[in-house]
Each structure stands twice: as C-alpha cells, then as structure tokens.
Structure 1
C-alpha cells in the first residue's frame, strides 16, 4: 500500500510529524485522497486532533522481552499528539484500524476507566508486585492529559497501595504530579526517565512537533530532582548523521540539570515507521537522507531495521560500537554511569474498596 498516493498537503498538517496517512496494514481496502474533478478552489481542511473514548477491559500488559528492564506496563492513551516522527509505537495504531501515520498523532483514544481497571487488577489475589512501567508505548503526559487527567488518576491508585512505578516521558506536565511522585520517591517507589533527542530547538520542533522544547525538558529534570524524584536522562533515539554529534552535550546538560543516570537507544524503524521516517527526511533534510539511512543499514545487516532481541535497541558494527564507547566515556566522566537502586516492592498493599473488612493492625 505504500505505493498509493497517501501524502497529505503541508497546508493540512501544520505542527504534525508525519506527512503521510497510509492505510493500516490489516485493512482490506485502502483510502486515498483524489481530486473530485471540479475546478473550484477550496480551502483544504486542517487536520485537528480527535479523541474518542474506549472502556478498557484490562490495563496491565505483560511482556517477556529479555532486553527490557520491566515485565509489565500500562497505557492510559492510544496514539500520541507529540507526533514524534520516529516513534516506534506508531505501528500499534494499525491494530485499531487506523493509520500509523497522521492518524497516530491526530486520532487519539482515551481510556476513562483506566484507574478503576488498574485498581481492580492490583486487587486480584494472584497479582504479584513488580515495578510498573508507564510511557513505554505512548506518552502519558501528552497534551491530552492536561484535560483528561487519566495518568494522574492512575498514579493516585499506585500511591494508595505503595506500588512501584517507572515513568518515561517527554512531557513537562509531569511537574504537575510532583505532589504524588515526591512522597512515592521518598519511599523508593518512583523514578522518572525523561527523553531528550536533540539540543537544537529547530530540529526538535520538526522531529517532535508537539513535544516541549529541549530547554524546557531540562528545566523539568531540575524541578523533579529538586523535589527528590530521581531522574534518568534518556538520549533516545540517537539519529545517525543528524543528532549523534550532540551526544556528549546532551549528557552534560542532563548532568547539570540533576539527572542521576543516563541511557541511550539507537533510532529504530519497525514496520510503517521506516517509510514515514524516510518521507520526513526527504522533506526536511534531503541532503542527509542517504547518509542517515546508510548508517542505519550498516547496523542492521543491510536492512532498515532488525527486530532481534539484544540487537534492536543498539544495532551492531563499527558505528554502533563508536556511539556506545562515546556514551560510556561521557557518562562515566559525568557520574551518570552509576547503577540505580531498584524500586521498592516490599511496601505494596492491595488497594481496598468499599465494603472491605477493616484491619485491626
């Protein structure tokens, strides 16, 4: 379906990352835009963010991936208005019958009963506590959260039962929840990972059109750490021949802001992300497109992406080894290579509900 005309006029997509809206891979029929034949000039409608609600039947998702540091996660939202063109979660929108392209960042799904379902699942007698990850697929602090508050409601449930949580975000809205996160962090129950891809505000705005500016994210790191909430700086993703020269400078800025650890991930282009990324490169950085893709293919055996466990996050070969060595050297010099303490699981108490018998102790 990638050969079908799915490019969207730039006038219709201001502030968006993707330029295409190709039909999802599971659909039998493709939707394409075409001229209606009438020679009448009309203003093209600008794509607006649409939100529909979904009543979740379950919330905690488990994984057995050996290259992930967690085995469970939740997502209060589907899709993400930040619109990061490189987002590896874009292909998940195809499961909803929507496009991983512009649909992913304009047709969002909110799960209003997320907190209630989470509470129910944590109450289950067979539930065994372990750190819960939030933000590993779509950002829980995307603009939609300001109005919906689903992430805050879920945090409230976790705080009530002393459940450990690890959050990944680009959103500065996480500052709103310091009142919940700081007491949790004091008990060893909470940690935040904040992602920064580039220090260049212009590049960031093109690549992550509705995410906060880089300087604003470093200010968020500072606010969180001053409140006693440990923050990991995530240099993610590293883009060959585009953002990789900034690696050391990003780490230095993160250390100055108060981050106590750091990590990095190479750019990943699974499924529909590759054609979306290459269209973005052709539009914004045509002079670097061939070089960027050549470096990526060098790390993946000639392919745009190799999803093998133990390989997909970093790639392999000389270039990947150079990036890894640069990261290790700078992280060590800045004290960001330390092993962080595991989140506490010993305080967990299953959440109660109306009608429960009160404890005597």
Structure 2
C-alpha cells in the first residue's frame, strides 16, 4: 500500500520549496507543526474533477452518471454513480463518490439543480469509491451533517477498510484523490428504518451478506425507485471478494418482494427496471455451474469451462466491463462458496 495521501513525505516538503532547516525549526513547536501539516494537506491536493451534468431519474431523484467502472489516473477516481434526492427539507445524497474532488464536483452539480442545502448522506457500504467524498460535504455543511450507514459499514470505515480504500484510491489514480481525508458515517441505520423528508420517504433495506456484510439499499418510496448500491450492477460483475452469491440471491428475493420499484439504481452502470434481473441471471450462470461442478467432483478449471459455456454468462461477456480480467476470480469465489455450502 502507498503512504496515505494526507501525510506529506519529505519529498513533498522539498517540492513545496521548503528546506530541512524550516522543518527542523518547526519540529520544536508541535502546535505550529500541526498547523503547518494542515496547511500542507490543503496544498498537496489532486486536480479538480470535470463537471458531469446530472440526469433526472424520477420526480425527486437525480444521478451523476459515471461511464467508467474502475478507477484510473484519467478519470481521477470517478468510477461510481452519485445519486441525490431533492426533497422538501433539502438534498439527500445516496453515495456521494470517491474523493473530496469528486464531492466538490457533485456539490457544483447539485447547485445547478437546486439551491437547497444537503441535509443528509447515506453510504451504502464500505468500498471507498462510494463514501470518500463525505469529506467535501463535511467541509461544506459542517461536522453535524448526518451521515448514515449500516453499523458494519461504519465500523469498517473507522477501521481497516477506511484506511485501505483511502490508500487504494490514491494509488489507482496516481494520487489524483490526494487531499481527501476519511470522514466516517456518524449515524447508524438498520433494516426497516424510515426517514421522512417532508414530501419524500426513504426506507432502508438490509437482508444480510450480499456484496458486503453491511449493504443497505434505499427505497425512495414515493418515486417507486430503489438505490441498490453495489448489491447489483449494470454491465459489470459486482465485486464478490467480501460477499456471497447465495446471500445476493436472497437479497434480490427480499428486495423484489418488499421494495417494489420501477427503477433500480446501481452504483455502477445505468438505472432501469431490469438491473436486478440482469445481475441475477449472470450470477446464477456462474454459481449454479460451480454447484454442479462441486457435486460432480470436478475441479475449478472444469467449473470455469462450464460457466463460460453457459449462455447466461457467454451472452453478457461482450458488454460487461472487466469481464475477461475478472471472470476467473468470480468463478473461483463461486466454486469455494459452493464447496462450503455442500458441507
């Protein structure tokens, strides 16, 4: 892992035109050094993210669409959709993005739609491309701005996952996210919680382990729309390193039963009424073939061949981002889960 971007290195000090004597002089005065470090945090900062015009999805909900599914120096970490609802009481963010720069871009775009303040943020899970932009909103609205997440997500952001994703986003983007600091959720939510924003009700759905152990999906009740985070994606295989295929199928069943929606809004890809069905078919093509391979005593290589031959999978290969480089890993995870379920 790289050195966290908010800790200036000796090279950064020298690059800023500061000699060792200056640093040595400051070292004798810790309060002064702390203030200096804070100034450096502002100085060592990645570039601004270009504006992306919001698209209206429903009467209350808008989305800033990310065309990319993976972070690069070129996209500066803009790899996940940013969704917000304009309510009677103010703007509610449903995943604000992956850096302070992305959050600042989102704020500019919100102001092109409404002059209402942001009154709440919801973080759907602990992968940093969805929450590191909390920083920009805290800067704009203060530390009392409510930021909601599942208890697991909050704990992980305060712990290992927060530091890991902070470092990864900086590394993957060649430090384009530099200057971002970790701002964790300050409120916890649970399944069934409802939030009244005057003319709009948000309902929280959590059905156990899916993409991560702490996923929440947010139903925008009056608009018959549900923001699903990374529980499902469009034209991209959802990362399953922290998740479960079986748990994801259960999550889909419960969402379809309890959050009837005309539009499912994914963290990656285009929103539509078909997002869950598309993802379910792909995952069933992967997982069911791995189950049969385990039942037949076949090895993982055989399972992969079966998966790639399944029309539910093969038919999606051409237009699924990262398919060729990731399908092997997802088959491996499915095979291991199938082995575990068999015992």
TM-score by length of 2: 0.32
Higher relative contact order (CA 8 A, sep 6+): 1
Please identify which structure carries the higher helix content.
2
